[in-house]
Structures are given as structure tokens and as C-alpha cells.
Amino acid sequence: MITAQLSTSYRYRHCMPGLDKAFDYLAKVADDPPEDGRYEIDGSRVFAIVASYETAPRVEKILEGHYNYLDIQYIARGGPEAIYYTPAETAPITEDYDPAADLVKYDPDCADSMVVLKEGDFAIFLPEDAHMPGAAFKEPAKVKKIVVKVQLAPRKA
């Protein structure tokens, strides 16, 4: 997991293929985020999901993971938002992997670390990072978030 301000994304844009396109997109829309919805950046290889919501208590959230995509979770407006996380390899699976959604669910009680994102912050979650986004930090807050999904090399069995 990596967390930083969007203004420092230049440090990470060449760490793996697709991050440059993801960060170019975020820089382009940061001052005027688009309406909620899905936006293709590079077909299914890099795309964004924009969502507006209110953060909620941790007990209402799921601990999730992905095998074939990383997430860049960027707070475009509002916040703060707490995201709990833990190593996926130590988290018990509660719902088997769904390849169509690239989603696996883990036992939420094992999320033992937390990062708090404020407006302008991003966090990169790799397949090794089980993560629980959308949680309230101290109290519920309105958030406009852009999640950019970047496809990785397929997982080996």
C-alpha cells in the first residue's frame, strides 16, 4: 500500500504499467471531478469509477481484495475517509473470488491497520492488500471519490 498527496504522484507513475495513465487522468479531473459513473481511460486496462457517498461505521463495510487490478483510491472532495487494511495472505476468505468482478471478500475483523485519506490524498492498494474503503473517521463525512483500476499481469495459480 502506498499513500500520498496527488501532487507527489510523479514519484509513483512509472512503478508499473498503467500508473502513468491513471495519474494523468486524476491530474486532469482533480479540480473538476466528473459525475458519478465509470470512465474508460485505456479500455479495460485502466478505468475510473467515480462515486459520491457518505462514509459509514466500519461494521457496515466489507474487507475486499482484487487479484487482477490494483486500486488507486483518490479523495476528490470532502472527507476524511478511513480505509482499513491488512495483508491479504493472512486474511481468512469469507466469500470466494468472483472473476467477473475481480473481487474476493475477507473477514472484516482481521483488518488491523488504517489509513485516513483527506481531500487530495490517494492510496494505492495492490492485490496483496485486503482493504475496507468507505469507513467513517470519527464521524460520517461526505466524499467524492475516484477509484482508478489498473490491470496487472494475471495472477498465477
Q: What is the pLDDT of residue 155?
A: 65
Model pLDDT for residues 135-150, shown as the tens digit of each residue: 999 999 999 999 999 9
Name the average pLDDT for the chain.
96
Q: Which domains does the chain have, with CATH numbers?
A: 2-151 (2.60.120.370)
CB 82 within 8 A of CB 116: yes
* Averaged pLDDT, 65-89: 97
Q: What is the pLDDT of residue 153?
A: 82
Model pLDDT for residues 12-62, shown as the tens digit of each residue: 999 999 999 999 999 999 999 999 999 999 999 999 999 999 999 999 999
pTM: 0.94
CB 148 within 8 A of CB 72: yes
**Helix residue spans in 9-133 (DSSP H):** 19-29
Radius of gyration, alpha carbons of the chain: 15
* Averaged pLDDT, 103-124: 97
In sequence order, what are the residues at sequence separation of 6 or more whose Cβ sits closer than 8 angstroms to the Cβ of residue 124? 1, 2, 3, 12, 70, 71, 72, 73
* Total residue length of the chain: 157
Q: Count of CB atoms within 10 A of residue 110's CB?
A: 15
